[in-house]
């Protein structure tokens, strides 16, 4: 008998691999993890080794467990963290980020917050989780950049964006490692920027976003008294208020500029103060800082008028105190500036018209300036060219300052300058360019109809119809006309050569030659507007029946269908503009306010001593800078 027969056999260690580990945590089976610690220690391995990570994403078993909760729990999570702590790489384990292009930077912390599992968030923070980890993958980018859910990259921003106030309180107040409210993501956005970005103007969304916004703003004021979280700019130079204006988030925008905070410790963050009330009448004081162009490089009004392409700009301009501010600006200085511009432009166009009408009919340009009339004409020509230079330089400067180009005035200025260059070069074709410039110049007077409410909305109707409805109609109509012209011209007989017809050669419409296509296009256009003659067009047709069928279908598709569709679309556009006429007119009025004057000198309120002292009392309690802009607005309940 061997002496080894009585000795116990050595224990067989259970072998773990990524598949077994992920399967166990997916089923939340903690018993399946028995022996994992011994296996790792005996083989000197860790849970963060590459063999235990998903190859494509770099995901460890901890995020996998958090993604597979059962009734909000997964019993394998504490076990995994205990094992990682005993193998000496707990911090690395809980902070290992995803590395693929879609989820890069996401950690277990993000997943726990997204799953609304506060107990696991607390556990992660206690064990040393990074509360400032940034999820920068493509999935977490804004939709306009090809992403799906942008929340601001940071765990705190994710908690705020998913409406978890308890989570926000814990992240900012825990004793282990509190999240910094001032932290910015890769785009420079704070948690307030992230909240503005996720706003969608619906009632429920606006309610939760504004409530969370105030919570974070007040909390920041108490934690960091020397820093106003709302004044932090992102990489685009935008504050949360400016971003709301830029993106058209009218619910958040209105809340911010009309915010009233009752908490004494944070009352300096208010932007609206009730001055006095008498029965149904009351007056409010509004903080205009960053709203108006008074010293700041960028203001909310500039963003709304020049740098925003959102469709609800006119609705945002109707929000108080923006509405009252526009009215005061117009009454104080913009109306005078506008009327001066109107008379100056009309005088310039009258001079341009006289110059074109009384140009010499004999000789070649440039013409001599001998008589008194010639010298007067020279003065008019100089004024006209100067207007072209002025509009050209103004448009270029505005474009360089990222303002949109005024297309009509820019084309007018280019035509004037080209006409002047051709004139000085002795080319008589300058007249052709000049008359186009003259016609466009008079059409540009529509710009100045913005100053009047009646004609301002009418001007907008014309612009919208030209740009939206008529352009689409012409695009389809030209395709129809070219297609039918090509087919119908092919059915015409070919004209004989001149040497074969003894000087009596037939011409279109009896046959077709090299110039027939352009003439036929004109005839088709006449048919569309109802002044064409079918009999003349049928004279040279090889197959009259086929020719007539094509003509009838053309008339049905263009005259009956397309034209009536154009009329219907124009009616719809007119109806839409009419509903929003007041707000659109205010937007146009703001567009012609080019002169920037200090609001403190232009908006002196008709105050009494009591009103002035009240304003000083409010401003004195909240002022943090030498300049405090206040607007008086009286309203009725």
Q: Is residue 603 predicted with pLDDT exceeding 70?
A: no
State both tokens at 585: 């007119």
In the predicted model, what is the mean pLDDT of residues 437-452?
A: 84
- pLDDT tens-place string over residues 318-350: 788 888 887 887 788 777 888 888 899 999 999
- Predicted pLDDT of residue 406: 75
Q: Is residue 620 predicted with pLDDT exceeding 50?
A: no
Long-range contacts of 142-151 (CB under 8 A, 24+ apart): 142/197, 150/194, 150/197, 150/198, 151/194, 151/198
Q: Is residue 182 predicted with pLDDT exceeding 90?
A: yes
Q: Is residue 610 predicted with pLDDT exceeding 50?
A: no
List Cβ neighbours of 154 (8 Å cut-off, separation of 6 or more): 132, 133, 134, 179, 183, 185, 191, 194
In the predicted model, what is the mean pLDDT of residues 113-128?
A: 94
- Predicted pLDDT of residue 8: 58
Could you identify the residue written with the tokens 């009025």? 589
In the predicted model, what is the mean pLDDT of residues 58-84?
A: 92
Q: Is residue 291 predicted with pLDDT exceeding 90?
A: no
630 — phi, psi (to 5°)?
A: -125, 135
pLDDT top residue among 153 and 504: 153
- pLDDT tens-place string over residues 477-513: 999 999 999 998 888 888 777 666 666 777 777 788 7
- Predicted pLDDT of residue 317: 80
- pLDDT tens-place string over residues 167-181: 999 999 999 999 999
Q: What percent of the chain has pLDDT over 90?
A: 41
Confidence of residue 404 (pLDDT cuts 50, 70, 90): low
Alpha carbons 92 and 97: distance in angstroms, whole number: 9
Confidence of residue 618 (pLDDT cuts 50, 70, 90): very low
Q: What percent of the chain has pLDDT over 70?
A: 85
Confidence of residue 266 (pLDDT cuts 50, 70, 90): confident
In the predicted model, what is the mean pLDDT of residues 456-462?
A: 76
202 — phi, psi (to 5°)?
A: -80, 160
- Predicted pLDDT of residue 507: 76
Of 93-102, 557-566, 595-604, the range with the highest mean pLDDT is: 93-102
Helix 516-528 vs helix 471-490: angle between axes, to the nearest 10 degrees? 130
State both tokens at 12: 């067989």
- Predicted pLDDT of residue 96: 93
Q: Is residue 587 predicted with pLDDT exceeding 70?
A: no
The closest alpha carbon to 404, from 472, 290, 308, 539, belongs to: 308
State both tokens at 256: 């911010």
State both tokens at 303: 């963003």
List 636's β-bridge partners, or say none.
Answer: 281
Confidence of residue 463 (pLDDT cuts 50, 70, 90): confident
β 281-287/272-278 pair status:
antiparallel
What is the domain partition of the chain in residue ranges? 324-450, 462-591
Q: Is residue 303 predicted with pLDDT exceeding 70?
A: yes
Alpha carbons 179 and 164: distance in angstroms, whole number: 15
- Predicted pLDDT of residue 470: 87
- Predicted pLDDT of residue 541: 82
- Predicted pLDDT of residue 451: 65
In the predicted model, what is the mean pLDDT of residues 466-482?
A: 88
In the predicted model, what is the mean pLDDT of residues 608-612?
A: 38
Confidence of residue 269 (pLDDT cuts 50, 70, 90): confident
């Amino acid at each position: 008998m061997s002496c080894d027969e009585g000795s116990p056999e050595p224990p067989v260690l259970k072998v773990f691999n990524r598949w077994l580990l992920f399967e166990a945590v997916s089923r939340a089976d903690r018993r399946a993890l028995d022996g994992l610690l011994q296996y790792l220690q005996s083989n000197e391995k860790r849970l963060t080794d590459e063999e235990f990570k998903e190859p494509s994403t770099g995901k460890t078993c901890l995020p996998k467990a958090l993604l597979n909760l059962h009734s909000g729990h997964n019993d394998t999570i504490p076990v995994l963290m205990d094992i990682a702590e005993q193998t000496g790489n707990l911090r690395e384990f809980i902070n290992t980020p995803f590395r693929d292009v879609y989820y890069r930077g996401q950690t277990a912390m993000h997943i726990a917050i997204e799953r609304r599992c506060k107990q696991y968030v607390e556990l992660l923070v206690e064990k040393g989780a990074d509360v400032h980890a940034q999820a920068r993958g493509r999935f977490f980018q804004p939709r306009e950049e090809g992403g799906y859910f942008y929340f601001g990259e940071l765990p705190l921003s994710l908690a705020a964006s998913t409406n978890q106030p308890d989570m926000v309180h814990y992240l900012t107040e825990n004793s282990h490692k509190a999240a910094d409210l001032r932290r910015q993501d890769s785009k420079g956005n704070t948690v307030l920027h992230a909240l503005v970005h996720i706003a969608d103007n619906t009632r429920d969304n606006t309610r939760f976003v504004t409530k969370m916004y105030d919570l974070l703003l007040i909390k920041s004021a108490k934690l960091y008294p020397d820093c106003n979280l709302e004044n932090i700019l992102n990489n685009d130079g935008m504050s949360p208020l400016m971003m709301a204006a830029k993106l058209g988030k009218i619910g958040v925008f209105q809340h911010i500029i009309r915010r009233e905070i009752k908490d004494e410790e944070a009352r300096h963050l208010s932007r609206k103060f009730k001055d006095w009330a008498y029965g149904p009448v009351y007056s409010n004081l509004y903080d205009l800082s960053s709203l108006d162009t008074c010293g700041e490089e960028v203001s909310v009004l500039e963003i709304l008028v020049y740098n925003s392409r959102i469709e609800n700009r006119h609705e945002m301009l109707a929000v108080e105190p923006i509405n009252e501010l526009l009215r005061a600006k117009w009454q104080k200085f913009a109306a005078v500036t506008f009327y001066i511009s109107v008379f100056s432009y009309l005088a310039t166009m009258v001079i341009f018209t006289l110059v074109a009408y009384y140009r010499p009919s004999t000789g070649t340009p440039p013409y001599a300036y001998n008589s008194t009339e010639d010298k007067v004409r020279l003065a008019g020509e100089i004024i006209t060219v100067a207007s072209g230079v002025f509009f050209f330089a103004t448009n270029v400067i505005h474009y360089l300052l990222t303002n949109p180009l005024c297309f009509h005035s820019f084309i007018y200025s280019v035509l004037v300058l080209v006409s002047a260059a051709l004139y000085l070069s002795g080319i008589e074709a300058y007249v052709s360019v000049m008359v186009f410039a003259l016609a466009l110049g008079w059409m540009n007077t529509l710009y100045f109809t913005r100053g009047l409410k009646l004609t301002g909305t009418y001007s907008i109707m014309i612009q919208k119809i030209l740009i939206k409805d008529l352009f689409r109609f012409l695009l389809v109509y030209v395709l129809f006309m070219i297609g039918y012209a090509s087919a119908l011209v092919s059915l015409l007989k070919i004209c004989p050569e001149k040497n074969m017809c003894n000087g009596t050669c037939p011409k279109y419409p009896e046959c077709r030659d090299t110039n027939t296509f352009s003439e036929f296009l004109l005839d088709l256009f006449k048919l569309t507007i109802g002044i064409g003659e079918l009999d003349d067009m049928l004279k040279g047709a090889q197959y009259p029946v086929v020719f007539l069928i094509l003509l009838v279908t053309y008339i049905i598709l263009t005259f009956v269908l397309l034209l009536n569709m154009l009329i219907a679309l124009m009616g719809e556009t007119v109806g839409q503009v009419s509903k929003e006429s007041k707000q659109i007119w205010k937007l146009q009025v703001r567009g012609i306010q080019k002169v920037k004057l200090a609001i403190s000198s232009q908006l002196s309120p008709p105050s009494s001593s009591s009103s002035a002292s009240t304003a000083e009392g409010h401003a004195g309690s909240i002022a943090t800078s030498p300049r405090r802009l206040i607007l008086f607005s009286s309203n009725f309940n």
